[in-house]
Structures are given as structure tokens and as C-alpha cells.
Structure 1
Amino acid sequence: MSDAQPSSPPVGGTIRRSLVAGLALTFGLLPLTLPLALLPTTPAHAAPSPEGDGQAALVDQEDQRLLQTRAVLAAILQAGGVTAMTWKQPQIYGSSHGKTLVLPALNTDQPYTMADLIKYGGKYVKKLPDGSYLLGIHVFVSDGASLLLQSSSGPLTLRMGSIPGAFSSIVSFGGKMTIEGTRQNPVRITSWDFRAGKPDTDPNDGRAYIRAVGGEFHMKYASTGNLGFWGGRTGGVALTGTDRPSSEQKHLTKEQRHANKKKRQQENENRGSSGGGPGDIEVEKPGGTATHVPAADLVTGSIDHSTFNGNAYGLFVSGSNQSKVTNVKIANSLVDGLVMHRFTKNATIENVTVSGSRGDGFVLARATEKIRVTGAAALNNGHNGFTVNGTALAEGPSASGESLETFGDSSINNSRAENNGHYGVELLGGDKLSVQNTQIVGGDMGIVVRSAATRVQISGNRLSKQTRQGISLRDGVKEASLAGNSITGARTGIYLRNSSGRLTGNVIKGATAHAITMIGNADGTEVRSNTFEGSGTSAISTSRADGKIKKHDNNTDRWDDTASLWMKARRYLKPMNFIWASVFTVVIVSMIRSRNNRRRFARLGRHPYALQMPMEERKVWRLPHRGDRQRGRPPAGPVAEPVGAPAGGSGGVRRSTTVTVPQIPVPVRPANPNGGQSNGAQPRRPQPHGVQPNAQHPHAPRPNGAPAGAQPNGAQPNGAQPNGTWSAGQPPRQGLPQPERGGV
């Protein structure tokens, strides 16, 4: 066995590889210079490494191939002569990126058909035994040309060759492409790996695709499957405008040529008879530098009653005006379902269902505006059901000079989003975006609005079974209007973070945290006439919000407040509430003390402000003295104020006057019956008996025969005038009355 020669490959394997190579060379799907020994022996769908870079390189190759084909065709037609006449007929153009069947414009209005592809494609277009057609070459429909794919005798099935390293495509560049079937005889287009005998399901090495660049595209009663790879323009079925210079050699009809001739003559008459001379320069007004798509280079199209299954992008539209997509089903897209990309405007999307996409169901990207989505359904997609992006193309100066203007006026109406992986609907920036009368089931959140969107309208929607929040406004949303929405089963019904809006007439059921939560700056927000049912620490949470918030006429009768006593107390422990509570407490305490003082003063029998009375208006109290009891003087008590004394007192007689002493009660010990003072007796507070104006001081000397209480010689109290007033030079004495010595 040691001298055994290396075994040769089996005969069957060699024949099989030779047959595959022959078919590949026959259909132009592999470079003609590829040696048979280098044919791939790896599995049919071996992914390049890294797969992303490989697919991106294939997209660049496709762009270069299209530009080369277009440039060569324009140059030949411009040169004229026999070569130009030859290129006015369908030709196969070869390049380093594959072979391309070029369909130039014809002088007739008749479009190219499947029969013409078989006629001019030669060995690269074959009819298979089952009646289908196998396309093994790129097809280029030039400006002014038209291609019609249909079959009146039965269904048309077109299999576009797609194997590792090579694939076919159909691209119209400024022309018109129509794929039109009927309900009885639809058109079916799919990628096809003839080695495996099935559609190509691996996009890593490139797949067949269909694209319209400018011009017109129409599809009706058609189905496509397993087309496209990597980018949107090669993603399956794509309608794209172009911002590249238009071809000077556009195909014009007879009427268009006559109209242009008349226009040139009119311009010459307006400029004068000279019309300029050699070397003259014609100056035109320069255009802007911002990215834009001229109206003449926008693509217009309509797609009706068609299906897209397993494409990289189900349907991709960019640089389009007034396109219509109606009654369409898109399923199992590898990236997104229906994508309206930049510079798409005035589009109509009706009765379109997108399901099973790995990314978003519907995407309205930046620089799109005035797109109406009605009666659409986004089901079981990996990311969002609907994504609408109205943000500006740039936030400041940029190399391409993009505008800072936001986009908007797009709407989603009467649609449905169910069980999508992320959000039901996401609105990013923009102005006047709206979601109305739409049913959203499941998802992490129902409707999310963020990135400083303005004047968003969200009304009449029905949301249920969201994990976290039903409707969320975040990151600078202003002037939003949320009205008449029904939210059931979300942990938080409506969530606002650094955003504001008007929330009116919404019904929130089954919330387990809050019906409405506000965080950050919510100035200008109004919450009115909403109904809340559920349980949580509060129906409307504003503890972490700032700004002026209006809340009124909301129905919380069926809201179960589960907050603890401390949490409830914290709701009211705010600075202003504390200040007002302190004010009311002081008032109440003062009222209670005032009432108690009145009772105490009434019990004591004195005026509450007696101590604040002037000295001359107070009653006089005699201070107790031990000698008073020995001399038999009257007990302590109020002293009568003298009224007057007889006039003419003799000299040398001691006179005394009484003054009004403040009424100061002094406790006095009662006298001991044995003549001494009792140590065990309690002091007694003497009771005042009022001022007695006519009473005389008990110890004042009286003249003989004078009535009790009269002053001798009519004397007045010390310093007093006959009218009862005090002289300015002698103020009244305080304390006990003192006798006044007379003159000698």
C-alpha cells in the first residue's frame, strides 16, 4: 500500500463539475477566463469573510458597472456614424463586472418584451422545460426605452440566475419598466440557483435584483421572492431617483423634438438676431450645493396587488414623487419591509401588510415628507412596526452642505401594529407627524415620540399589552397633542420626559405604576378630562417634574392608590404647603390662647390690660407692714384717693396728700389670734374694691370739726391743682403716700 498512487477524482464528480462549469459559462454567470480547476468546490452559499465587506464591495461593483454602461452608450450615440446606428440596436456589452444586455431607445412606441430578451440575449436567456425563463445576464433599459414583462397566454415565471460570485439583474436607467400580470395570469420573479435547483436564499455573495433609476416603474399582479442583498438600491425591488447628471442623449418623441425646436427658436428671437458668436460664454444661474434630486430625475411608479417574500429589503423607494403602493404584502425581509428613503415625497401607501421582517416593518426615513400610510399592518417584525424619521440631514455645517430643515407632514392612519419586537410606532423629530386611529398590540412600548419632534398629533389610537409604556414622549418633544387614546395593560399609560403637550380625553386601564408619569421639564403640559383605572402609588406622578403643569377634570374614581402613609405624606411636604400650615397653626393657637385668657381674666375680675394702663388711672394698694397690726391700722387694700381738704389750714400743721398707686395685689398673712403672725397661714390676695374718690387717706391729719376724709385748709395732693391735674414741675410720686411737712 505504500507505493499506492494518489487516487484520482471519481469520474462522476469530474463530469458533474464540468457540466456545472459549462452551464455557468453558457449563462455568463462566471468570468470567462476562470479556469475549471478554480471552480468553487465549497458549499454553494459559503459566506465570504467578513461577509459585510464582501457585500458592500459587490454594491460598489454594481454602481461602477451601471455607470460604465451608461457612459459608453452615451458616448457612442453622441459620436454618430455607423457605430451609433449599430448601438441603437440591442447589444451585449462586456466589462470586468460581467455582461450586460443593453436595450436602447427605439423609434417606435413598442416596448421590449420577453420575446425580445430571448432574441437578443441569445444563450444567456433560456426557456426551461416547465415554461419558465432563466435569465443569466444583466439587463440595462436605457433612457427612453421601455420593457414590458407579461404573458397573455398564462402565468409568466422568470428565474433570475444567482450563484456564488455571479448574479443577474434588471435595471432601467431613465427608461420605463412594467411588470404586469393579471389575477388569472400573474408574473412571478425569483432568484435561482440552477445548481441547487432552488431560489438563492443566501445574500452574502450577492443576489439578483430589480431596480429602476429615474423614469417610471409599474408593477401589478406580480410576486417576487429571494431577491437583493446589502444596500437598498440592490435590496430586491428598488425605485430610486438619481442626483447624477442627466444624459445629453435622451430619447425624445417626435412631438418632444418639435417642441424643443420651437423653444430654441423663441429663445433666439428673444436674444436678438446675432445669437452669439464663437468664444461667447453663456452664464447660467448657479444652483445650491445641498443634496437634491431634480424633478426630471425623480422616479415615479405604482405597485398594486403584488407580493414580496424573502427579499433583503421588501420594497425600497428613494428619490420618488407621487409613488403609490397599494394592496401589497411583504414578508420575511432580511432587513426592513417597506422603506421610503430620502427625497421621497407625496407617496401613498394603502392596504400594505409587512410581516416577519428582521428589522422594521415600515420605514419613512429622513428627508421624506407628505407620505400617507393608510390601512397598513405591521405584524411580528423584529424591531419597530412603523418608524417615521423627520430629523434634519445635518445638525450644522457639513461637507455636503445639507439643509438644517426638518421634515414632516407624514401620517399613519387606520393601521395596525401587532407583536413587533421593539415599538409599535416610533416618531423621530420632524414637524406635524401624526398617528391616528391605529391599533397597537404588544411590544415594549406602543408609540414613542422623541428627538425634539414638534406638533405631533396622536389621537384615537387603541394600545394594549405593552410591557412598559403605552405612549412615550421623550427628549424635547414640544406641543404634542394626545387625545382620545385608549391604553390597556401597560405598566405606565403615558410617559413624558423633558417633553410637553396636551393630554385630553385619554382612557388608561390596567396600569400598575402610574397612569401618567412626568419627569424633567414638563412646563406647559395640560392633563384634562382623562379617565384612569388601575392601581399604583399615584394616578398622575409629577414629583420629579418641573414647570407649570395643569391638571383638572380627571376621573380617578376607579384608581386604587397603593402608596404608603409616608409616601402620601411626602406628596404634601412641600415648602409652600409647610409655610401655609405654619401660618394656620399660629392663627389657631392664638385664637385658643385668647379664649383662655378671657376666661382667666373674668375669673380674676380684672381687666386683661390693666398693667398697660397709665399710672394715674390705676388703683392704689397698701403694702402690708408689721406695725400696722400693732397700731390697729386697717388691713392692706386699696387706698382711697382724696378729693380735697378744707381751706385755710394753720401753719405748722403737717399736711399729707395721697397719690394714686398702681393696683398691685400683694399677698398678706392673716394676723395670729395670739398677737403674733402665724407661720402656717397662706397669703391672701386682697380683692380691690374700686377707687373711692371721696375717701380721705386714713392717716392724714384732720382739723377739728372737719368731716372725715377732708384735707385741712382745703389742701390738694402734693403737686396737684384744684382741678385735679398735676403741675408740670412736680410729677406725682410713686409708691405709698408720704406726709408732706409744712413750713415753719
Structure 2
Amino acid sequence: MSGRRPLWIILSVLVVAAVAAGLIYVGNSRNISAADAKGRNEIADNGNVQGRLYTGNPATEASLVEREDERLVYVRTIASAARWRVEGLEGPYRLRTGSAYTLILPARKAAYTTKDLLALAPKSFRAQPGGHYLLSESVVVLAGATLILNAPAPDQGLKLRMESGPESFVSVVTLGGSLAIGGAAASTATVTSWDSTKGAPDTVTADGRAYIRVIGGHASISHSHVSNLGFWSGNTGGLSLTGTDAVSTFSEKPPTPAETAAASAGARLLPDKELTTLFKQSAQDYSLVTAGIENLRVDKNAFGLFVTNARDIAIRDTVITRSLVDGLVLHRYVADASIARTSSSGNAVDGFSVGRSTTRVTLDTVDARGNGRNGMTFDGRPLADGPNAVGTAVDAYGSNRVTGSRAERNARYGVELSGGSNLTVADSVLVKNDVGVVVNNGATGVTIAGNEFRDQVRQAVAVRDAEARANVTRNTIAGGDTGIYVRDAHAEITGNTLTDISNHAVTLLGDVRDTAVEGNSIAGYGSTAIWKEQSTAKELGENDLLGWAPAYTVERVVDSVFQPLTFIWLMLGALLLVTAAAKGRRSRHVFRSPYADRVPLTSLTRGIIALEDVRPPH
């Protein structure tokens, strides 16, 4: 054998290994298929992408948010009754709010401007070199008043710095009043936080940070650049448009005599004995906020632009980048909002976030790229699912649309439609997200039509769980693992064109009894064009599968080989090979030279020799 294993032994080992592999595969084929359809094609619960983590301090920042709420309630409470209870009170005045002061701008016909601030707060609103202005005192604009933040000279852009350091930060807040931040194409207004101890914008949120908030009034912002504002909550997130909050209380230590003297310059300071009476006798009104925003750039805020309790919001030609949480947030009770030609990119969590109880929101020609979680999120679920302490209705929300937009390279989903009804994603482009469009949590009346999907990592469209319902039609899907994925949900999948799919063009799993798949053109090189083995799907309709070329993966080869009849023929073939190998070995002993075991006699003797050579000598 010359040290080599006989052929029949090698073949026997290979056959035994193949049989073992086949038995293992047959015994686990259902589990493998389930993992493929339910595990690989879905983000696991413990591996869900949540975005980049917030780097602040939860304990201190939450406490500061609460303190800010108390301060504003205190100001609103005093201001609502001061004009009736304080004799001779006219024009702006100043309130002591803890160890600091807040400048109050009451109602008047003429708008307040930066020139007014220079006169009312000469020590806390100061001009600086380079055309900058430093605001070191909080400002509140009451109902009936308007504050316009613009440059004193019409041909210049405002450069406003809001004091924000380790010891304190300031804010500009309207309580029913209006705020205008106005620039022009050639003279943009800029607003940023400013840490005077460092001579730079404030990038630390743990000790709070300057912010702007419009409560229950109107905001008009154009040709402006707002950056490095806000901390922790949406209300204090940087640039916020909100309705009014719940009543709270306020208590802080009194200021020192030096602080009182410094605060009295430029505006009247209300006495403490009057404030106590006013606080007890006043009430709070509720109102919504409206806004018109265009040509705004927001960079590095906590929340780029936060909106809640609002209606008739129009946002145009706006750019939001690098927010510490979300980019544009429509949080609660926002109705009739229109966002157009706006981009939100590089934010830590979502680019656009539309929360519960928000309805009739249109995102048109928006762009969401490189966000830490979703490009766009719509949450239309009810605020409650039954009787609750505050009597909240159990209605779902919706009537929201995404049209002509783009979602690219977001870490999780391009667009997520979570609950709600009458939702549309149409004529948009989705590129290289983990999943393109996700419909979940029972969303109904969903239309996903006329979109272009390119190279999503897992699925282009996923409709899943809680009997979500969607119409997926006329989309172009190229590349990716799976084209359209439906699990325990219902979808009408018609007229779509799918190409270059590497696994399944359509995956159906679980209860999908009302799902239809027909009229689609499917091309790719995956394992199965339409995978439905573990679903309730029946006859799905006619589809064009001429462009589908099944890939010869290991699983597919094994699956095709280890069929019952094929397995029998394989075993018979293996036995024939082993028999032939053994017979061949025996035949080598039969067909050999008949003299192979013979040797010449001369090799055993000296041959013929002379007689005298063997006689002994005489």
C-alpha cells in the first residue's frame, strides 16, 4: 500500500460524514429556517439600536429642568396679576427669581428690540468687540408683547451670545408673547451659548445650558443660525416651541443686597411683600403655540428644534445637525404641521421624530442622513389603552405623510411607522439603512408607494406584528438581504420591481392570511424568491420570476441532496463505489506475473564450476 490509505476506506469515511451531516440538517432544518426568517431578518430585543448615548449628567440636569419649570411658573403667576394689584406698574420690570433676576417685558403695541434691551438692561445686555452682544440675564416676554432679536443696524446681522457657564445660564422665554429672530440672506442672525470663563460656546450640559423657548405664543425665525443651546429635556432642549405647562411652586434663597442693587438698574424691581400676595391670588391660562420658520440652521443643540402643544407649524429650508438627542421633534398635540426642504442629519437619535397625539403632519422633500437611530419616526399609538387617572382618550392618531424625501445611512430604520392610521410614504428614496420602512404596532391604512429602495442591510420594507396593515405597491427595490418582509401582519404587495436580492425577495412568516403577493417582477440570486413555508399564506398570485437565479448555497445543496429518494440512491451509489474499490483491490492479486514468487537459480548458487575446483588438494 506504500503508506497510503486504501480508496475504499477514504470513501467510507466521506459517506459516513455526509450521512451524519444530512441527519443533523434534517433534524434541524425547521429551526434553521425559523432563525433565518425570524432572527436574522429582525433586530433582536436586546440588540436594538438606540442611538448614541447622551453624555450629560441625568441627576443634575433633571433637577435643573425642574428648577426652570418652577421659575417660569413663578414668573407667570406674578405677572398675571401684577398689572391689577401693583399700583403704578407700567412698562418692563425685573423679578428676583432665586439668586438671579428675570427681566419681564409686558404687553405693549410696539415690539421690543435689541435697542430696548440695551436701555432696559445696560449691565446684562452689553455690546462686545466684533459686533457681538452678550446677554447675562434671563428675559420673559408676556402675552401681548413681541421681542424682535435683530441687529441695531439694519445692514448688520445680530450676533447674540447667551451667558452659559458653570455657575449659571440664561434663557429667553415667551409666556403667551411672540418672538422674532430675524436676519436676511446677507445678514444672518446668530445665537449661541457663551461661556465667558472660556471665551467659547458652552459645550457642557451637566450644569445646564442657555436656551430659547416660546410658550403659547408665536415664533417667527428666518435667516438665523442657532447653536450649542439647551440641555436634557425638550422644553429646555435649545430652541423649543411649546404650550403651557402644569402649575408648580417656586422657592429659593433670597439674593444678597449687592445682587439687589445690581438688578435694580434699568427696570423696576417688584417688592417681596407684593409678590407673595400676587402669587396666592393668580391663575394660569392654557394656550397653543404657532410658528413660521425658514432658512434656519440649528447645530449642536440638545434637541435641535422641539415642538409640542402646537398648531399651524410651517418649517421651510431648514438644516438641523449634530443634536445631542433628536433633530426635529413634534412631541405631543401637534396638528397641521408642514415641514419642507428641510434636512436633519448626524443627530444622536432620530432625524425627525413625530410623537403620539400628533396628526396631519407632512414631511415633504426632507432629508434624513446618518442619524444614530431612525431617519424619521412616526408614533401614532394611543396615549392610553383603557381607563386611566387623567381620562386620556384611547384613540390612535395619524394622517401623516412623507413625500419626495430621502433617508440614507441611518443606523436603524429609514422610516418607522409605529401604530396610527392613514399613513403614507411615497415617492421617496431610501438608501443603505438597516431597514428602509418599518410598519409595526398595529399601524393600519398604510401606503408605501412609488419609492426607490437601494441596498438596505436587512429589509427594504418590513410589515410586522399586531396585525399591521399596509399596501406596498409600485416600489423599486434593489440590493439587500430581503426585499419585503411580512410577519403576523397583512400586506398587499403588488406591482413592485425587485432586483439583486441576496436571500428572499418576499418573506412571509406567521399569520399572514390576508396577504397578497402578485404582479411583482422579481430578480435576484438568493435561496428562495418567495419564502412562505412557516406562514398561513396560500396561493399568492402570479409574479414574474424569470430573473430569479437561486444561489447554490451549502444549505440549498444539502437540502436538495437529502431528500428521501435522493438519499436512497446516494447510499446505493456509495455502496457500489465501496464494492468496486474492494473488488479492484482483490483483482490486483489475480492479474500478476506467474513467476513473481520465483527467483533464478543462479541467485541461490555459484552456478557451474569445474570439478577440480571442488576436489581437495592432494
- With the shorter chain as reference, the TM-score category is 0.7 to 0.9
Matched, 1:196 2:185: no
Matched, 1:78 2:80: no
Give the aligned partner of residue 561 of structure 1.
550
Q: 1:519 to 1:112 in 2, by over 3 A?
A: same
Gaps of 5+ in 2: 1-53, 248-283, 566-618
**For 1:562 and 1:466, how far apart are their aligned partners in 2?**
20
Give the aligned partner of residue 221 of structure 1.
223
Superposition deviation, residue 178 in structure 1: 0.8
**For 2:557 and 2:481, how far apart are their aligned partners in 1?**
22
Superposition deviation, residue 560 in structure 1: 1.3
**For 2:350 and 2:469, how far apart are their aligned partners in 1?**
27
Q: Which structure 2 residues correspond to residues 139-538 of structure 1 after superposition, within 5 A?
A: 139-151=139-151, 152-242=154-244, 244=246, 297-538=287-528
Contact 2:56/2:206, CA 8 A, preserved across alignment: no
**For 2:434 and 2:562, how far apart are their aligned partners in 1?**
31
Superposition deviation, residue 433 in structure 1: 0.9
Give the aligned partner of residue 111 of structure 1.
111
Superposition deviation, residue 73 in structure 1: 1.6
Contact 1:522/1:549, CA 8 A, preserved across alignment: no
Q: 1:165 to 1:570 in 2, by over 3 A?
A: farther
Amino acid at match of 2:88: M
Superposition deviation, residue 128 in structure 1: 0.5
Superposition deviation, residue 84 in structure 1: 4.0
Give the aligned partner of residue 618 of structure 1.
none
Contact 1:370/1:410, CA 8 A, preserved across alignment: yes
SS of the residue corresponding to residue 77 of structure 1 reads helix
**Aligned residues: percent identity?**
37
**For 2:74 and 2:288, how far apart are their aligned partners in 1?**
21
Superposition deviation, residue 572 in structure 1: 13
SS of the residue corresponding to residue 72 of structure 2 reads helix
**For 2:99 and 2:414, how far apart are their aligned partners in 1?**
42
**For 2:392 and 2:362, how far apart are their aligned partners in 1?**
25
Superposition deviation, residue 49 in structure 1: 12
Contact 2:441/2:468, CA 8 A, preserved across alignment: no
**For 1:435 and 1:321, how far apart are their aligned partners in 2?**
22
Superposition deviation, residue 382 in structure 1: 0.8
Amino acid at match of 1:85: G
Q: 1:549 to 1:413 in 2, by over 3 A?
A: farther
Contact 1:338/1:354, CA 8 A, preserved across alignment: yes
**For 2:56 and 2:201, how far apart are their aligned partners in 1?**
23
Amino acid at match of 2:78: V
SS of the residue corresponding to residue 115 of structure 1 reads helix
Superposition deviation, residue 570 in structure 1: 10
**For 2:243 and 2:293, how far apart are their aligned partners in 1?**
16
**CA deviation profile, 1:310-349 (whole Å, cap 9, x unmatched):** 1001101111111100000011111000001100010000
Superposition deviation, residue 243 in structure 1: 5.6
Amino acid at match of 2:125: V
SS of the residue corresponding to residue 383 of structure 2 reads coil
Matched, 1:128 2:118: no
SS of the residue corresponding to residue 455 of structure 1 reads strand
**For 1:572 and 1:115, how far apart are their aligned partners in 2?**
90
**For 2:436 and 2:324, how far apart are their aligned partners in 1?**
23
**For 2:522 and 2:373, how far apart are their aligned partners in 1?**
30
Amino acid at match of 1:51: N
Contact 1:525/1:550, CA 8 A, preserved across alignment: no
Moved more, 231-240 or 467-476: 467-476
**For 1:496 and 1:223, how far apart are their aligned partners in 2?**
43
Q: Which structure 2 residues correspond to residues 585-604 of structure 1 after superposition, within 5 A?
A: none
Give the TM-score taking structure 1 as reference length: 0.61
Matched, 1:54 2:60: yes
SS of the residue corresponding to residue 204 of structure 1 reads coil
Amino acid at match of 1:125: F
Superposition deviation, residue 74 in structure 1: 1.9
SS of the residue corresponding to residue 425 of structure 1 reads strand
Contact 1:503/1:528, CA 8 A, preserved across alignment: yes
Q: 1:569 to 1:480 in 2, by over 3 A?
A: farther
> Which has the higher relative contact order, 1 or 2, with Cα contacts under 8 A spaced 6 or more apart?
2
Superposition deviation, residue 565 in structure 1: 6.9
**CA deviation profile, 1:172-222 (whole Å, cap 9, x unmatched):** 000011111111111110000111111011111111000000011110111
Q: 1:49 to 1:483 in 2, by over 3 A?
A: closer
Give the aligned partner of residue 260 of structure 2.
none
Superposition deviation, residue 129 in structure 1: 1.9
| 1:551 aligned residue (540, 545, 549) | 540
Q: 1:234 to 1:520 in 2, by over 3 A?
A: same
Contact 1:304/1:326, CA 8 A, preserved across alignment: yes
Q: 1:496 to 1:76 in 2, by over 3 A?
A: same
Contact 2:519/2:543, CA 8 A, preserved across alignment: yes
SS of the residue corresponding to residue 296 of structure 2 reads strand
**For 2:469 and 2:294, how far apart are their aligned partners in 1?**
37
Superposition deviation, residue 309 in structure 1: 0.6
Q: 1:374 to 1:105 in 2, by over 3 A?
A: same
**For 1:142 and 1:230, how far apart are their aligned partners in 2?**
25
**CA deviation profile, 1:232-257 (whole Å, cap 9, x unmatched):** 01001000012658xxxxxxxxxxxx
SS of the residue corresponding to residue 211 of structure 1 reads strand
Contact 2:442/2:469, CA 8 A, preserved across alignment: no
Contact 1:467/1:491, CA 8 A, preserved across alignment: yes
Aligned residues: 471
**For 1:193 and 1:75, how far apart are their aligned partners in 2?**
35
Amino acid at match of 1:514: H
Q: 1:572 to 1:60 in 2, by over 3 A?
A: farther
Amino acid at match of 2:126: K
**CA deviation profile, 1:433-481 (whole Å, cap 9, x unmatched):** 1111111111211111100111110011111121111110111244310
Give the aligned partner of residue 100 of structure 2.
98
Contact 1:62/1:97, CA 8 A, preserved across alignment: no
Give the aligned partner of residue 583 of structure 2.
none
Q: 1:99 to 1:474 in 2, by over 3 A?
A: same
Amino acid at match of 1:54: T
Gaps of 5+ in 1: 1-47, 246-292, 574-744
Higher strand share: 2
Amino acid at match of 1:441: V
Amino acid at match of 1:76: A
**For 1:489 and 1:403, how far apart are their aligned partners in 2?**
43
**For 2:87 and 2:326, how far apart are their aligned partners in 1?**
43
Q: 1:335 to 1:561 in 2, by over 3 A?
A: same
Amino acid at match of 1:556: L
Give the aligned partner of residue 68 of structure 1.
74
